[in-house]
Amino acid sequence: MGGKEGRVRDEKKLEEKKLWEEDKKRLEELRKQAKEELKKEIKVERGLVRVCETTIEGKLKVRHALLRVKGISHALAIAIPYAAGINPEERIGNLTDEQLELIEDVARNPLKYGIPEFLLNRRRDPYDGKSYHLIASDLTITVKQDIERLKKIRCYRGIRHELGLPVRGQRTRSTFRKGKTVGVQRRKK
């Protein structure tokens, strides 16, 4: 009695498994077709775009492309296109030269376009007390000048920079060892 029913159950399971595998193959084919269609849909006028001293791929959306520029954060990358009146979902390769210049101007002078001060990366500058937003080479130069000032006045942070040690209070027992093995060696008897 049990033998015949067992064979029937096994045959049903095999049929279900075959159907499931066929469905899986169909879904994979559909996914591949959808990916190919998406790749075809992305049409870009320019392959590479130069914005704020940075070369960016033209197929990236504006908000993602701005993240490639040194000194532009996630929040600012979303705020810049809105302040410039550009759709943040637009591909950066499809923008005109005037729009790219406008984006660069907004990135360099965000306060002029109504972007709030808390999104800037240089608030209350120690030299003149004004707030700025620095990007690309300006940011690199300013950070180097700040570090040199710390070294010159011989403050704790400046000395740590000179010695190549961690500046922000991290432990140094097991990390920041350059070229040495970590651990304790036994004395030879």
Distance from C-alpha of 138 to C-alpha of 146, rounded to nearest angstrom: 12
Asked if 110 and 76 touch (Cβ cutoff 8 Å), the reply is: yes
Residue 184's pLDDT is what? 64
pLDDT single digits (tens) 142-159: 999 999 999 999 999 999
Distance from C-alpha of 164 to C-alpha of 99, rounded to nearest angstrom: 43
pLDDT single digits (tens) 41-69: 667 777 888 888 889 988 889 999 999 99
pLDDT single digits (tens) 73-100: 999 999 999 999 999 888 888 888 999 9
CA distances 108 to 56, 101, 102, 113, 174, Å, are 17, 11, 10, 10, 42
Full-model pTM:
0.65
Asked if 174 and 182 touch (Cβ cutoff 8 Å), the reply is: yes
Residue 40's pLDDT is what? 65
Give me the chain's average pLDDT, please. Answer: 86
